[in-house]
Structure formats: C-alpha cells, structure tokens
C-alpha cells in the first residue's frame, strides 16, 4: 500500500475522536458484507481498523462509515481503531439502508417504521463520536402529499439526533435516487422549515452537477449552513481519476475557501483501474488545491445541460 504522502495544513494532534479540522478529507468505507447488497458506490471494505489504516495510507484523514445492521460494528471497536491510528470519523452514511429497501418516506408504513429505527441506530452510533448522519437517497421515492409526513419524520429524527449528540444532514438528490427535495433551494427551505439544531445540510457534487445550473452559486447559497460534502466527478468518480467531463475543482475549492468552509469532505474509490493509486492521486490533487486556495470566478458556471 502506498505511504501517506500528504498532510493537511490544518491537521493537528488531537486526542478527541470525532473532532474535524477545517476541510479534512475522508474515504467512504464499510464492512465486507455490504457487497451482497449491490451498493452503488465503490468503498473501502474491511474491519474498522483495516479501513482506517488503509485510508490513512492512501493520504486521507479518516473515513465516512456506512454501518451494517446493529451489532456489526460496535462503538468500542470503532473508537479503538480511530484512536490507534489518529484518524477521524467525519460522518456516518445512511446509504446502506437504501440497499436494504428501507426509506423514510416509503408508501408502506411498516417500511417507514423500520427505516426510522435504523436511523435511530445510526444516530446513536454517530453521536458517540459527535459526528453527523447523512440523509440522501434514504428519503426514498415519495408519493404525492408526503410533506406533512416528511416534516413529522424529519422533526422527530432531529430531536433524536440532538439527544444522541449527532446531527441529521439533509441532501438534495437527483430524482433517480430520491424524488423528494431535489434542489439546493428546496433543501434550504426544508432546513429552515424544520428549524432545529439537530437538522442540517450537506451537498454532493454528483447531484449538484445534475440538478444545479451553477455549482459555485449552489455552494454560495448555503454558506454558513453547509456541514458536510461529497466530492464526485460525473459518474461518482473521485476527482482527478480520469472522468470524461471533470468538474472544475480549482473553482469549487476556491468557493469553499471563500466560504470559510470548515466541514469535512468525502470521496469514494474509483470503479475500475488501480483504485489505490487513483485514491492517492485524488487526495494529493485536492490537498494541493486546498493549499493554493484560489479565489473563485463568480461568473463561471458549471453543470450539465
């Protein structure tokens, strides 16, 4: 495995697990049994210790973790692995429950109830480390007239998140992943509507490129609200890994610098090729841009027709 060749300017020795420094990078990771679910994004796979050590070796600060069913990975196991490596857990990702057929706004109440229980498990786990839980495709394919149910569900989970020491992060998605809350403007409106400290916002550049006319302006629209990021090129490719139509990452990182963004950002592994080498390249590329921190061109527009 290639050695870690880069460090963040913001990386400091810190014994408190779960604390992130401005713009740390993490890799998406899970346990090997996720392969049986057909999950759509390529992940680091292994025990907590294995994936954390591999992420660090590839040049990342830590991981964003997709837990399996309750009991698969315990808090003590994750805590030990993080402290042993000096790594950071940046977020807990809820995407795995989608692959199990569970979504919060499913037409069937029994499915919704199971999804809520899983989110509570995730929030409890995340709260042990003081990190957020993502909410993207797990919103589900919502039937018409879902707003009242969504408000009740989001508010209940926000209250649970606060009690657990976590935060639920709403993500606007392309309709193929979830047809409910698909634009940044809608997501901001919902965060304002719930108006709870346990309910926040994250963005994913894969979805932004499909739904927003301008990625820089979409980011600026959430300045001060943004709590977490996924950084993908089209096709959910990691940056600098050979996407046919890559996003303009110098501009995107420049906007984040302009915003004084202090959250974390996660990427996945490439779907093919030398995935370890491509992960090292992505980490080095993004960290180099963070070092440069160029100012963004406010007139530059990104996205797809």
Per-residue pLDDT of the chain (305 residues; tens, 9 = 90+): 332 322 322 332 333 333 333 689 999 999 999 988 888 779 999 999 999 999 999 999 999 999 998 889 999 999 999 999 999 999 999 999 999 999 999 999 999 999 999 999 999 999 999 999 999 999 999 999 999 999 999 999 999 999 999 999 999 999 999 999 999 999 999 999 999 999 999 999 999 999 999 999 999 999 999 999 999 999 999 999 999 999 999 999 999 999 999 899 999 999 999 999 999 999 999 999 988 864 544 443 333 32
Q: Which residue, 99, 105, 115, is CA-closest to 178?
A: 105
Residue 204 φ/ψ, nearest 5 degrees: -130, 120
Read off the pTM. Answer: 0.89
Between β-strands 199-204 and 226-230, what pairing exists: parallel, antiparallel or unpaired?
A: parallel
Q: What is the pLDDT of residue 39?
A: 84
Q: What per-residue string of b and e applies to 282-299 under the rule 16 or more CB within 10 Å gives b?
A: bbebbbebbeeeeebeee
Distance CA 237, CA 219 (A): 20
Domains and CATH numbers, the chain: 24-290 (3.20.20.150)
Structure tokens at 161: 């998140």
């Amino acid at each position: 495995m290639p050695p870690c060749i880069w460090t963040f300017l913001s990386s400091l020795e810190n014994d408190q697990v779960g604390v992130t420094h401005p713009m740390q990078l993490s890799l998406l990771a899970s346990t090997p049994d996720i392969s049986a679910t057909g999950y759509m994004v390529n992940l680091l796979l292994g025990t907590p210790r294995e994936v954390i050590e591999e992420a660090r070796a590839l040049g990342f600060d830590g991981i964003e973790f997709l837990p399996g069913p309750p009991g698969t990975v315990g808090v003590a196991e994750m805590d030990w692995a993080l402290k042993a490596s000096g790594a950071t857990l940046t977020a807990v990702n809820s995407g795995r429950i989608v692959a199990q057929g569970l979504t919060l706004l499913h037409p069937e109440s029994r499915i919704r109830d199971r999804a809520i229980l899983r989110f509570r498990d995730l929030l409890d786990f995340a709260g042990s480390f003081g990190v957020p839980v993502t909410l993207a495709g797990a919103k589900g394919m919502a039937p018409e007239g879902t707003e009242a149910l969504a408000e009740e569900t989001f508010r209940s989970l926000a209250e649970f998140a606060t009690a657990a020491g976590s935060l639920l992060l709403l993500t606007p998605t392309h309709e193929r992943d979830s047809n409910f809350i698909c634009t940044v403007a809608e997501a901001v409106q919902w965060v304002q509507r719930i108006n709870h400290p346990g309910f926040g916002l994250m963005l994913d550049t894969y979805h932004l490129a499909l739904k927003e006319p301008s990625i820089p302006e979409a980011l600026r629209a959430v300045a001060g609200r943004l709590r977490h990021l996924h950084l993908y090129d089209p096709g959910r490719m990691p940056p600098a890994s050979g996407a046919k139509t890559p996003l303009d990452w110098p501009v995107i990182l420049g906007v984040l610098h302009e915003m004084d963004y202090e959250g974390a950002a996660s990427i996945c592994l490439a779907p093919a090729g030398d995935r370890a080498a491509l992960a090292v390249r992505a980490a080095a590329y993004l960290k180099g841009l963070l070092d440069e921190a160029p100012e963004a061109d406010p007139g530059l527009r990104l996205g797809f027709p």
